[in-house]
Amino acid sequence: MSEAEFQAIRYEQPAAGVARIVLARPETRNAQDKRMLYELNAAFDRAARDNAVKVIVLSADGPHFSSGHDLRDRTSIADFEPVGTWGGFDLPGAEGYMAVEHEIYLGLCWRWRNLPKPTIAQVHGKTIAGGLMLVWVCDLVIASDDATFSDPVVAFGVNGVEYFAHPWEVGIRKAKEMLFTGAAIGAAEARALGMVNHVVPHSELEKFTLELASRIASRPTMGLKLAKQSVNQAQDAQGFWTALQAAMSLQQLGHSNNAQVHGMLVDPSGAEVIRREAKSGR
């Protein structure tokens, strides 16, 4: 997929050594359909393979970073070129659905998490459910003071977003509270928990992030690669990848149970729960 084909994102080079990928579906609050995910993957690959790029920033248009997965997306994975090895996407039942979710969610996220260059999420407004997977794969997170983070999908009868990094990002007990209640975490609390590196006024977010990216870009690529790999390997030694795969398997169990009980992949009552609590500001 070439840059000329991008419809859901933009690829920019705002400073020497810095590439910026922008989520560009503000009319949907940057809900992620399959096109956006595969365009993101193509953009990340382009930046990773460009020797002139040392740092990658991920940002978003509109009032919010991402409202999560686009549940209205009716495109088929056959419309895109898979990058993983699962296959069997059109098989019936849970087998085919599991293959699709491993490809477009866990598989793509794992590729992005292991890019050999530093990545920075520039986050503002709301980041909901599937939006978290785009933030959490990044090495650094810079948030505006209005940013909030939530994963309310336990209300749908599943365990949480597919890239299940909650325990590492916010700690064990906060992860449970976040999932059990669906409540949002504000930027200041997210920083105190270690999920966010810096919180800045909304008006200063882009400038601050670009200055940080440029500072990092002054380092040699070899040192940056080795530092990133060393930290990632320390996390891997704690069982990170194994835990992500286990959580994905449990999510598929949740979908299968919903299909048997409700005739659909999610508990339909969950949407009303989430809407009601959103209106009440909880």
Task: Tell whether the model's pLDDT for residue 88 goes beyond 70.
Answer: yes
Counting Cα atoms < 13 Å in the Cβ hemisphere of 176 gives 2
pLDDT number for residue 178: 97
What integer is the mean pLDDT of 66-88? 94
- Do residues 156 and 266 lie in contact, with contact meaning Cβ atoms separated by under 8 Å? yes
23 to 58, 68, 119, 250: CA distances (angstroms): 8, 12, 15, 29
Task: Tell whether the model's pLDDT for residue 62 goes beyond 70.
Answer: yes
Q: Nearest-CA neighbor of 235 among 194, 180, 199, 189?
A: 194
What integer is the mean pLDDT of 67-91? 94
Confidence of residue 3 (pLDDT cuts 50, 70, 90): low
- Say whether 127 sits in a helix, a strand or coil: strand
Calculate helix-pair angle for 221-237, 240-262, nearest 10 degrees: 60
Question: In sequence order, what E strands does 6-96 have?
Answer: 9-15, 18-23, 55-60
pLDDT number for residue 4: 67
pLDDT number for residue 248: 97
- Record the pTM: 0.96
pLDDT number for residue 280: 74
Distance in angstroms (rounded) separating the CA atoms of residues 88 and 100: 8
pLDDT number for residue 135: 98
**Residue 141, both tokens:** 């997170």
Domains of the chain and any CATH numbers: 3-279 (3.90.226.10)
Q: Are strands 119-123 and 55-60 parallel, antiparallel or unpaired?
A: parallel
pLDDT number for residue 276: 85
pLDDT number for residue 277: 81
What integer is the mean pLDDT of 8-35? 97
Output the average pLDDT for the chain.
Answer: 96
Higher pLDDT, 244 or 271: 244
- Say whether 156 sits in a helix, a strand or coil: helix
Confidence of residue 37 (pLDDT cuts 50, 70, 90): very high
pLDDT number for residue 90: 95
Adjacent-strand bridge partners of 148: 126, 186
Residues 6+ apart with CB under 8 A from 142: 120, 121, 122, 123, 196, 197, 198, 200, 205, 208, 209, 212
Per the listing, tokens 């048997």 go with 260
| Least confident residue range of 4-8, 28-32, 74-78 | 4-8
pLDDT number for residue 271: 84
